[in-house]
Structure 1
């Protein structure tokens, strides 16, 4: 049975699931009906962070155009441009046992592509969630429903996996940002032109 988290909660992942190595982080969302005339294109991205909370180089930013990071231990399964249908809209596969030691935290984010020019924000998005499941058994381990707390934000840090005393834990963050992916990337030590 999956552990359901609220914003700000943290939970053990590997300690309570001994031997767990391959997990999938599924991210999903729905867009509300609105008459702005543009389709929504939401994107999930992953930032591989060091002890200082920053990426060490561009390859630590994993997304649809750079689908692998951490020597192949983090793999983004590609861009879903519509968000249509049930289930996860985008997924990231992670091998927890092969992540390089310099990666201490893995932050999962969702951004709205071209949000400002399309006049879109997370106030128009509903049912956003993140879940972590065992890739082998497909058992859902952790679920975090983000709720409807957002209005003008164009990017969200959903949550992060982080190392603690040799184990992996998950923190449900749910923080919104204005300025989209560029503002988010800058916070994580990356310049996006």
Structure 2
């Protein structure tokens, strides 16, 4: 068929569509009109996918609501069009109009996954409105809608779609603030911030709460991040800019002035005054995949990086794994929000700055002797909030046995694992400490995750 005939057929389809809408409720001939419209639209669609024929797709979707008998043919036609133009917004508009009518929750999840990543953030609000019953067709039952929301979080995390995840967490947090717990809302909005794609409204509401709670530093960081992006509303930008200035003023006023500080008491030991600080013992350096035996005892694992400008927020974490390769429960995930296991065998000591701010580290202690027999491995990971590791310099893991451990020193020497040439990973498995033949070994890993800490948590069975 000559593609040039497409526009003429399209005009005919439009006219018949308008006539069908006028006559549907009162004319017995409507069915014939709709059938004719379907035939014309199908011919137009076959005519080379002319850009102007997008409206014919929409007309075809409308026809299918009356002609259920040809649903399979209609879906096949949509599949052909999407295969030819996988990111064509017009075709997706028509397709979503058609398939979201009386859709099941499983089909809605499959549709969400099928959407191209470039278009998913744009259409996600539509799909969520279907799940919530806010579309014009009445949506799906409440229980199915709730299930879609729960499973959508895991789906977007698995897909690594941070932009869609940021929008969804933003909307979920805002809804929670209106209808539920403010504490829970703040936690969800913080998760939205960590994706790097929170909505402006989410940052607005989050920072209002943070300022009220005295978390001025966190509020300032969130405001700085969102103000670096385009904001269409000048009044909103002005409001957020003023709030940032207020946060900085509050932070400045909370710092004690030098004149108000007490004079430090200096104790001098004449016998030690000329001695330099004791250097750290030399560590055995590992490369990815290499392992070495270590002694039983209490070990300090330090994850460090250089950050003279204070630009990076790197977080260390530990996962206690059973022989299944998964955690036994969520209590086995030690990170910034859960810093100690119930039995205190693994403790996260937070972030510290070394010297004048050039090197920063986070420290975790592991008591190998006290670990339950059901724990066969402890995995150490690092993740970064807002960005990736491509710009982080000097990332390194070092493990030292604490003083006082009773095991023989011949296998207790410190171990280090420097990481080089990092890319766009947002989380990295650094190393694992594991049981072998009645003892313990440490292995350097260096495996990256583009979807951040959520990807690591998912792989090891943490409920996120």
TM range (shorter): 0.7 to 0.9
2:315 to 19, 43, 61: 43
Specify whether residues 173 and 102 from structure 1 end up closer, same or farther in structure 2 by C-alpha distance, changes over 3 A only. Answer: same
Q: What is the aligned partner in structure 2 of residue 13 from structure 1?
A: 294
Give the Å deviation of 1:159.
Answer: 0.4
Kept after mapping to 2: 8 A contact 1:71/1:100: no
1:85 CA displacement:
2.9
Is it true that 1:121 corresponds to 2:388 in the alignment?
yes
Q: Please give the residue correspondences for 1:34-183 in structure 2 after superposition, counting only pairs within 5 Å.
A: 39-69=311-341, 71-80=343-352, 85=357, 89-113=361-385, 115=386, 120-136=387-403, 141-148=414-421, 150-183=422-455
Gaps of 5+ in 1: 15-19
Partner residue, 1:29: 305
User: Is contact 1:73–1:99 with CA below 8 Å preserved after alignment?
Assistant: yes
Q: Quote the offset at 1:92 in angstroms.
A: 0.6
Q: Is the 8 A contact 1:131 1:140 kept in 2?
A: no
Question: Which SS does the other structure have where 2:414 is aligned?
Answer: strand
Comparing both chains, which one has the higher relative contact order based on Cα–Cα distances under 8 Å and sequence gaps of 6 or more? 1
SS in 2 for 1:29: strand
Bigger proportion of residues as strand = 1
Q: Distance in 2 between matches of 1:74 and 1:51?
A: 18
Of Structure 1 and Structure 2, the greater helix share is in: 2
TM value normalised by structure 1:
0.83
Distance 1:106 1:179 in 2: 21
Q: CA RMSD in A?
A: 2.4
Shift of 1:166: 1.2
CA contact (8 A) 1:4 1:144 kept: yes
Moved more, 139-148 or 123-132: 139-148
Native 8 Å contact 1:133 1:140 kept in 2: yes
- Tell me, in whole angstroms, the C-alpha distance in 2 between the residues paired with 1:93 and 1:191: 24
Q: In 2, Cα distance between the equivalents of 1:88 and 1:41?
A: 10
Q: Normalised by the size of structure 2, how large is the TM-score?
A: 0.36
Question: What is the alpha-carbon distance in structure 1 between the residues aligned to residue 316 and residue 378 of structure 2?
Answer: 13
Distance in 2, Cα, partners of 1:78 & 1:137? 23
SS in structure 1 opposite 2:336? Answer: coil
SS at match of 2:425: coil
Question: How far apart are the structure 1 equivalents of 2:348 and 2:284?
Answer: 24
Query: How far did residue 189 of structure 1 move?
Result: 0.7
1:28 match: secondary structure: strand
Contact 2:307-2:358 at 8 Å conserved across structures: no
Counterpart check, 1:2 vs 2:283: yes
Q: CA deviation at 1:137?
A: 6.6
